[in-house]
Chains A and B, each alone.
Chain A
Amino acid sequence: MRMGDLLIKLNVNDELYEVKVKPYWTLLRVLRDQLSLTGAKLGCGTGECGACTVLVDGKAILSCLTLAPRAVGKKITTIEGLSKGNKLHPIQEAFVKNHAIQCGVCTPGMILSAKALLDKNPSPTEEEVRIALSQNLCRCTGYVKQVKAIMEAAEALRKGD
C-alpha cells in the first residue's frame, strides 16, 4: 500500500468487494476498472449526461461525481444488479421489447433512473417519466420508446409480473 492508498469495502449488488483506491478515484472508475462492472459509462465526466447513474441506497446519483471512499457503508446498485441470472428486470424487458435501445450507452443510466422513479412512484404519468429522464441524455433516440417502455414496465410491476 503506497501513501495515499485506502483499502475500502464496497457493497455492490449485494456483494462485498475489498478494493485498494486512491482518495481521488471516483466510484465510476472503481466500478468499471476494478470491479469490471462496465454498465455505468463515462460520458461527460462532469455530471451532465447521466450515463454514470447508479443507485446508492436506492437513490439515483452520479458516480462520476462521487469519490469512491464516499460509497463505503452504502448499498450500491448497478445495472448488472437488476437482472437475476438470465432473468431480466421488468424495466429491462420493456426496453428490449419496445426497441428502446440503440447504441446502448445511455441505457444503464436510464433504466436505473426509471427504477428509482418507480420505486418511489409506482404510477407515474408520462410527464413524470419525462421529468425523471431529464437526468439522462440520449444522443440516438428521441426518448419516445424509453418513455413507452417505462410506462409499460410500471404497469407490469403494479400487476406483480
Chain B
Amino acid sequence: MSKFFRPDEYLVPKTIDEATSLLAKHGDKARPYAGGTDLLVEKPPQVKCVVDISSLPIDYIEKDGGGVRIGALSNCASVMSSPLLQEGANSLLARAARELGHGGTVRNMATIGGNVCSAVPSADFPPALLVLDARAKIAGPEGERTIPIQEFFLGVRKTALKSGELLVELQVPEQPANTGTAFCKHGRVSADIALVNAAARITLGQDGACQDARIALGAVAPTPIRARKAENLLRGKSIDDALIEQVSQTAAKETKPISDVRASAEYRRDLSRVLTKRALQEAVKRAKEG
C-alpha cells in the first residue's frame, strides 16, 4: 500500500441514501469529504474512494421549538453568523465556532459535522455540544438513529458511527431559563489547536443558587469529557469565587492529559483548572444577565 494519499475514485452522491450505500460498499477505503480541512491535512493513505458529500441537503440551521437543528455540513462561518445563534445560551456554539481554526478561510470550509466526526480530543465543537445536551442524528444503510452526543465519542479518532453511517444533524435543545454558557480555548499561539478547551453551562434558580451545572473539557483525555465531580460540587450551592476555585481544582483532577509536543500533562492539567474557572465565571455572569 502506498504511504501517500492516492484515491482513484471521486464520487458525488446526490442523496443521503446514495452516500451511505457508497460508504457501506467501500468501508474503510472510503471517506466522506465535507470541508476537507481534516481530510486534506491527514491525507490517510488507506483512502481509495473520496465521497464528496458537500451537495447533500444537510447544510442548514433551523429553529426547532426553542432549540436548533444544525445540518452536519454547516460550516463555522454559518454557525457564527446564524440569526438563531446570536443570543441566549445556545449562542455558545457561535462562540465556539469563532475559536476554531486560525482564520476566516478555515472557518469557511470546516464543518461542524467534520469537526465532530474527526473525534480528535482537541476538537472545538464537542465540549460546547456536551454542555448543551446535544444529540447526534446519524443516517445509515439501515435507517436513521439519534444518540446523545456523549455517546458519539469512543476514543481518539473513534466514533460510534458504524459501517456506512454518516452524521447528518446535530440537535440542540432549548436550554433552561436563567442559563449562561461560556467557551474558553487556549493554544501556544492563537492559531494553534487547543492545548485545552472548556465549555460551561450554569443554570441559576430563583434564589440565585446554582440549579444545574455542566463542565466539559477537551484535549485532556482520549475523548471530550464532562467533569462530573466538579459539576456536583456546584449544584444547590451559592456560587462565589471560593467555590469556583474549588470546583476548578476538582475539574482539573478529573482530566487525563498526555504530554506531547504542544504541552506537558502537568501544564494541561493546570490549564484545565484555569479555563474551567474562566468559563464558570463567564457562564455565571451570563446566567445573571438572563
Residue numbers of A with Cβ under 8 A of B are 3-4, 6, 22-24, 26, 46-48, 50, 53, 59-62, 64-67, 69-70, 113, 116, 132, 134-136
Query: How many chain B residues touch A (Cβ–Cβ < 8 Å)?
Result: 25
15 contacts between A and B (CB under 8 A): A22-B6, A24-B5, A46-B41, A47-B37, A53-B105, A65-B40, A66-B36, A67-B50, A69-B52, A70-B54, A113-B104, A134-B102, A135-B104, A135-B105, A136-B103
Task: List 7 tightest A-B contacts by C-beta distance, closest first.
Answer: A135-B103, A4-B8, A23-B10, A65-B40, A135-B105, A69-B10, A23-B7
Given the known interface contacts A23-B9, A24-B7, A70-B52, the answer about A135 and B102 at a Cβ–Cβ threshold of 8 Å is yes
Contact B191 A65 (CB under 8 A): no
In the complex, the number of residue pairs spanning A and B with C-beta atoms less than 8 Å apart equals 77
Report Cα–Cα, A4/B47, bound state, in Å: 13
Residue numbers of B with Cβ under 8 A of A are 5-10, 12, 33, 36-37, 40-41, 50, 52, 54, 77, 102-106, 108-109, 190-191
Contact A23 B50 (CB under 8 A): yes
Contact B6 A50 (CB under 8 A): no
**Majority DSSP secondary structure for residues of A touching B:** mixed
Given the known interface contacts A4-B9, A24-B5, the answer about A113 and B105 at a Cβ–Cβ threshold of 8 Å is yes
Report Cα–Cα, A24/B10, bound state, in Å: 8
Closest to B40 in A: A65
- Taking a contact as CB atoms closer than 8 A, the residue among A48, A67, A70 that contacts B102 in the complex is A48
Report Cα–Cα, A77/B130, bound state, in Å: 39
Instruction: Indicate the member of A47, A50, A69, A135 with the most B CB atoms within 10 Å.
Output: A47
Contact B106 A24 (CB under 8 A): no
Contact B108 A61 (CB under 8 A): yes
How close is B52's CB to chain A, nearest CB, in angstroms? 6
Contact B40 A47 (CB under 8 A): yes
A-side contacts of B52, CB under 8 Å: 67, 69-70
